[in-house]
Structure 1
Amino acid sequence: MIAVLVSDVQSIWISNGKPQQLARQARKLSWGIGVLTPEKVFETEGPRKIAISGLGGVGKTHIALELIYRVRKRDSGYSIFWIPCTSPENIEQSYLSITQVLGMQDVEPAEAKEQVKTYLGHKSDLKWLLIFDNADDMDMWIDGGNGAPALKDFMPRTEQGRIIFTTCNKKLAVKLAPCQILVSEVDEETGMKMLGKSLSLEGLSEERDTAVDLLTQLAFLPLAIMQAAAFIKGE
């Protein structure tokens, strides 16, 4: 399901199960936990919009998923909407799904974004979290195109609503949100610990040089490390 009013955090994800499995594994390794907590996001004087930026594979989506998990654990009253931004078509379909969940009838695709913005912006008693995953296209978000308005113009705003973006585009992150969180690759020691735990090994001291070579080839990207470990264990 690509956009949903959440009653169960397990229902959130957008394609096959592999990213979910990586997110669960990352939680077991305690990686990424605490980078973005509900307390940071929902503090009274905190920013309404936050952008998580970094290279592809560094774990931005996992951090957003971890936030969802913690928000639901802290307060089940939050409505959470997840929108994959890999294409205009995905975004449009997500907004249409949201209008259906919100009980709107016969909304045209071209009207869905404005309808959702109006609804969320006027429901002062509704606590919501809107997450745009892979918001990387500067033209689509800032300039619009082909006669379409920029997506940034459809962002709702209320005291109890928050918007999270994940993006590989640092310049776009600055334009989308007043608060940016830059997620970088892990260092060598963290990478070694992550690889060791993923392989269910006590330590990699005897194979350290080989392990470091592997981590270097993987650019010390957390999700790449976990994927490689899963592949090795499966052989």
Structure 2
Amino acid sequence: MNYLDQSLGQLARRIPGATRLFDQHHLDFCCAGNRTLRTAAQEAGIAAEPIADALHTLQLRTDDNAMKDWSTATDTELVDHILRRYHAVHREQLPELIRLAQRVEQVHGDRQDCPHGLTNHLQRMAQELESHMHKEEAVLFPLIARGQGSLAGMPIDVMRMEHDSHGTELRRLEDLTNHITPPRDACTTWRALYLSLRTFREDLIAHIHTENNILFERFAPAKVH
């Protein structure tokens, strides 16, 4: 795909993570989003090709492992996948989501359809999710890596309860954003924010599913009600 001759606005709206990349290179995707990546980079005096390569990587990650059946992976392969595909990605996603939400609330705070309170909600989600992931990385995953997953029943129960809390927070996120649907006249930043929010939501749901229904079931099957 030719990223160089697409506008910054188009790329920001279509590729989750593009806004963070553009911001790192000081490329204005909002007010000057009609410029192509090639033109914007040239005007900024930087090389466009490495940015295009990074966009390609982000696009590939969006579809990463979509066809792989992780139920057939070994315990350590599955843990490594969770750490790489979800823990590391959430740590990239949330700071950028918070930054974009702050900008939208600051610029459009006088509008009734502005997602008032979204920044605070995302900051709270980031804190809770970081705490959750740290527990898994410090306690649960090392047990599994040592082949002691049979001893992990109590930590798994705690993680499942926290997953339920994450689900509640996602529903609140949808309430704040009209089911993550931007207004028709939303600016590029607002649309990019909601694109990234949808990706974050999908990733977090897939993250919880992979742990609850694949990894945790190997050591502490959930009770059927």
TM-score range (shorter-chain normalised) is under 0.3
Q: TM-score, normalised by structure 2?
A: 0.28
The answer to which structure has the higher helix fraction is 2
Q: Which structure dedicates a bigger proportion of its chain to strand?
A: 1
User: TM-score, normalising length from structure 1?
Assistant: 0.27
